Amino acid sequence: MDRIEIGFMGVGLVLMLIGIRVPIGAAMGSTAFLGIWAMMGWRPAVGITKAIPFNLIGDWNLSAIPMFLFMGFIAVEGGLTRGLFGAARILLARIPGGLASSTVVASALFASASGSSVASAAAFSRISVPEMLKSRYDMGLATGSVAAAGTLGALIPPSVLMIVYGLLLDTSISTLFVAGIMPGLLTALAFIILITLRCSINPNLAPRVEVTATRAETRALLADAWPLPVLILGVMGGIFTGIFTATEAGAVGAFLAFALSLIRGRLTLPILRRALLDTASGTSEIFIVVLGAALFSRFIALATIPDYVVGLLDGYSTLTVLILICAVFIVMGAFLESISIMLLTLPVLGPVLAVHDVNLIWFGVLTIKLLEVGLVTPPMGMNVFVIKSALGDRVRLGQIFRGVSWFIAIDMVVLALLVAFPAISLWLPEMMGS
């Protein structure tokens, strides 16, 4: 049996193990060890399995992951995300479908701080969906806007997914952060325009809601919402101005979140303890997956799978290759978690992208966009099932998928624009010299 056959058997084994719910880090790591053993023998397999984790964990860039996770947990547990929906609701009250548009704004900010699209969907299914239903909003619009808005968090930095992408393809994390801003804002604006147009054409989707608030109430809402935008601006402003790197920004963000929660009097010992434990747990889970993927990447490289894929796609245009990659990512996104998809695919796609001279920063934005679209794509869109779990019998899965389908269509339009006009992603990094 030659190497390429062993390689494809390994890929099949990993997919089978994932299908029967074996943790993906264990599935990739164990398969890689067995595959290298089969190709090269016991001693090389043991040597590679010992060396890769040691070298990987020593990478300074990985320290940004626990720092950004801690920042997110402190921001959520410390109450820095409170008041986002209320403040956005006041600001967008006059436009049709204002509550749904407020959800887009507030959820995007929440997701960018928490680093989790799923957490955003879970939170706003309890915060904004009841408010929209109370105002007689269409169920599909209410739940669809929450599911779609949660996906914005990975594009609007800081983003753990961008850190993992940068490490896998050896690209600048700071530049990725900057490149994600315009596509993230464009997507949010597209969602708001979609909601406004639909509700203008069919007012029954979202009856007008008169939001009346005194000047004192408005000030109170804005006072409750300011910490999170300040936190995000502080982190990104430091990266933009070159005061600190993206890796150092994680520590700065964690400190700012800690300080803001302390100043507002919402940081208690139980909250700090819970945030530290959640950070340790989340970091361990990510690192185990990353270690397994690093071993698997070495295995598929030794099995010459990347060279085989390059040969398979030889003669196809760059656009055709990108369309095929987009289709694969969207299908996988409906079934697998985002980091797992990147770890499975990018080691194979790296050589393909190099052959076609694809800008890795631009492709990174496309990758994150595709992964987040997968979270709301039938039949297993994770955000949709999170909302269904939160709302129970009040909503049917079909209603949520019907509502989110409009946003998926808009995501496809935005994705087409990002492919057709790379400058949308690259203009800001080039202007700032990133």
Is-above-0.85 flag for pTM? no
Measured distance CA(102)–CA(100) in Å, rounded: 5
Q: Is 2 part of a structural domain of the chain?
A: no
Q: Is 347 part of a structural domain of the chain?
A: yes
Q: Is 128 part of a structural domain of the chain?
A: yes
Q: Is 48 part of a structural domain of the chain?
A: no
Residue type, 402: R
Q: Is 81 part of a structural domain of the chain?
A: yes
Q: Is 238 part of a structural domain of the chain?
A: yes
Measured distance CA(251)–CA(197) in Å, rounded: 42
Residue type, 82: R
DSSP state of 336: S
Q: Is 55 part of a structural domain of the chain?
A: no
Which tokens is 108 given?
């995007």
Domain count, the chain: 1
Which tokens is 274 given?
């819970």
Residues near 10 by Cβ (< 8 Å), separated by ≥ 6?
31, 32, 34, 35, 296, 299, 300, 303
Q: List the chain pLDDT tens, one digit each, 434 residues.
A: 678 888 889 888 888 887 787 887 888 889 989 999 988 888 888 888 888 877 777 777 777 788 888 887 887 777 777 667 777 777 777 788 888 888 888 877 777 776 667 777 777 777 788 878 888 888 888 888 888 888 887 788 777 888 888 888 888 888 898 899 899 889 999 999 999 999 999 988 888 766 666 667 667 766 677 777 888 888 878 877 778 887 788 888 888 888 888 887 778 888 888 888 888 888 888 888 888 888 888 888 888 888 888 887 877 888 888 888 888 888 887 777 777 788 888 888 888 888 889 999 999 999 999 988 888 887 777 788 888 877 877 788 888 888 899 999 999 999 999 999 999 999 988 887 65
Identify the domain containing residue 97 by its residue range: 63-292+306-431
Q: Is 250 part of a structural domain of the chain?
A: yes
* pLDDT the model gives residue 424: 93
* pLDDT the model gives residue 275: 85
